[in-house]
Structure 1
Amino acid sequence: AAAGTSTLAAPAIAQSRIEWKMVTTWPKNFPGQGTGAVRFANSVEAATEGRLKINVFAAGELVPPFESFDAVTRGAADLMHATPYYWPNKSKALMFYSTVPFGLTTGEQEAWMQYGGGQELWDKVLDPFGLKGFHAGSTGGQMGGWFNKEITGPGSVNGMKMRIPGLGGEALKKLGMTVVNLPGGEIFAALQSGAIDATEWVGPWNDLTFGFYKVAKYYYWPGMHEPGTQIEVTIDKKKLTSLPKDVRAILEACIYQENLKFTAEFNARNGASLQTLVQTHNVQLKRFPNDFLQAYGEKCGEVIQELRDGGDAVTKEVIESFLKARREQASWNRIAEQGFMNARLLDYKFPS
């Protein structure tokens, strides 16, 4: 009888095991994004006790990085680990789910997503594609980018060629810049060869790993183009809803946990990495001049207004919801977060 029970149990266990393919837009094991994707997949397998196993494919292993969206919609993969502004050809509204220049910080974005209707509108954008999106971490505030020419004013970027995706790139086009979008693994060679004159990626931790300090002179701040860039785990909706209820609940809990871990890791590592860039590699930090930031902000506003007036009802709904959140969050954080940060910079004695 015992032998018979064992024989019957094995197929039942095998049948309950689900394997998914997750494509990513990141180089294999790239610190932060690549390692975060693997950490997330491992956490799901551990938490479900092997009932859901997610096999991770780095950029180019299953599909090219910028084909990840299509890979999920056509069934070549079950989910992707990416960032939504890579898919403006699917919907312009998706760019608002990565980051918006002069828009929301990471904390403000989370407030909009969870309590301001942001998630429900994202669902609305993705539903025609048969997808369900979740935020799975933020890089936090970013740097403005790597340049081989000094930026002395708005005219400095005219004729320059820069790798910069999303709404930030669209706004720079209005200042005369030529904008290209390259996956992370191709940026260094493009900058080294002169195919591009400048690039942004993320911030000190990621940028140190890529070695941009070897091929660019100046490291500019602040990163107004990306105040809190979000990572996505976006899943084939049919596959998600077909999961056993407890497995789906565990999966979503793991995404939320990764959202916290990913964000915390970037916040933890950027400071020390910035010191390494400056003190070990003699990187020159430069602040964008105010007249450039002012002109950039104006052009970003124009881009957003054009999208709002572009005739797509869902995009307009997303933008209006986003701008409402921006107004409300800015009115509070001018007093709270910004007030605290300004006070912390005052000259007073404090243990180092």
Structure 2
Amino acid sequence: MNSLKFTTLVAAAAVTMTTFSMTSTAADRVYKLKMAETWTTNFPIFGDAPRNMARIADEMSNGRLKITIDSANKHKAPFGIFDMVRSGQYDIGHSASYYWKGKVANTLYFTTMPFGMTAPEQYGWFYEGDGMKLMEKVYKPFGLLSFPGGNTGMQMGGWFKKEINTVDDLKGLKMRIPGFAGEVLAKLGAKPTNIPPGELYTALERNTIDALEWVGPSLDLRMGFHKIAPYYYTGWHEPATELQFLVNERTWKRLPDDLREILRVSMKLSAYDMYIQSYHESGVNWATMKTDFPNIQVKTFPTPVLKAMKQANDELLAEAAAKDPLTKEILDSQKEYLKTARIWTDISDRAYLDSLDSISE
């Protein structure tokens, strides 16, 4: 073999070994991400979702994707998730989209809407309709990506110290209620506010607020609200409350393709797991509530009050859509999707339950 050929072979082998080494190193590299959550340490159900996500991502990636979680009592900013993830202080956040309405008004439509879709309908809109595409359109200008982060299902209408009999009973009512529902009640004369989860009981006990909504029996009973506010109203305002995984776009882009897909699947699976867990816990707790807490009075808002809420809701939606083309696009998309989905809900779930009622004596 002449020297030129030998030199060429040695060079080729060196390139091959270098390429193999680089590929091997890339495949073995561990990516460490930081997540901030709105919830306090060991907060049930809501806090389980991000931990399940981190565990699933770790297992599916064979340890190449490690996610650590800082709770609100560590980072001290339960409603600061948007800014902390946007700035890169954290790679991921777990919170709720409607908390950012003061920063970006169009974010609030991706949690849930009063008198809107149920959880299965809303999941259909996210994944088979335009929901994910529209959510990307809202968050991308801020260098963020948003993914569904776990659903509570239908939420209860809240805990009240006094019974609500007329619309006038809402006037001046100080109530913890976030999202679009807070705007609806404000239009009817109430004084809505938002308070971090860890401060709710104290605010109710000290009369900082007169009423609050939190979630439902899956979480409410262990919070002890019934000790102060015995009237427990059925829901209207949050029929499908979807939490949120918020991801810094720079972090997303620097992940290899396979880890991006693992992260995407981990978020989706843990979100659905939270929906199952929340539904289960609500059923179990509701079944025992009357026995364990006989003083709780379950109420439904009177029809005139619900009609006033619905009218205020419709008027506010029309005003919002008229002000911003993207808002109109989001609301029109939800409305059109619901037309189709609700027909099936009516003929499937509602018809089934009505049929059972007709033969139950």
Range of TM-score over shorter length:
over 0.9
In the alignment, the residues of structure 1 paired with residue 39 and residue 355 of structure 2 have an alpha-carbon distance, to the nearest angstrom, of 38
Q: Identify the residue that residue 104 of structure 1 maps to in structure 2.
A: 117
**Aligned counterpart, 1:173:** 186
2:203 to 179, 190, 215: 190
- Choose from 352, 356, 361 the match for 1:340: 352
Task: Give the distance between the partners of 1:64 and 1:304, measured in 2 at CA.
Answer: 30
Task: Give, in angstroms, the shift of residue 15 of structure 1.
Answer: 7.2
Distance 1:287 1:184 in 2: 24
Alpha carbon RMSD of aligned pairs, Å? 1.8
1:1-352 map, 5 Å: 12=25, 16-221=29-234, 223-282=235-294, 283-310=296-323, 312-348=324-360
Gaps of 5+ in 2: 1-20
Rg: which structure is higher? Answer: 2
Aligned partners of 2:28 and 2:64 also within 8 Å? no
Displacement of 1:91 in angstroms is: 2.0
- The equivalent of 1:3 in structure 2 is none
CA contact (8 A) 1:23 1:63 kept: no
CA 1:189–1:14: 2 relative to 1, 3 Å? farther
**TM-score of the superposed pair, with normalisation by structure 2:** 0.90
Task: Decide whether the 8 Å contact of 2:41 with 2:73 is kept in 1.
Answer: no
The alpha carbon displacement at 1:14 in A equals 11
**TM-score of the superposed pair, with normalisation by structure 1:** 0.92
Distance in 2 between the 1:333 and 1:41 partners?
A: 34
CA displacement, residues 106-133 of structure 1 (integer Å, 9 cap, x when unaligned) = 1111111112211101000000011111
Moved >4 Å (runs of 4+): 11-15
Write the distance in 1 (CA, Å) between the matches of 2:61 and 2:191: 47
Q: Percent identity of the aligned residues?
A: 36
CA contact 1:162–1:178 (8 Å) conserved in 2:
yes
SS at match of 2:80: helix
Gaps of 5+ in 1: 1-7
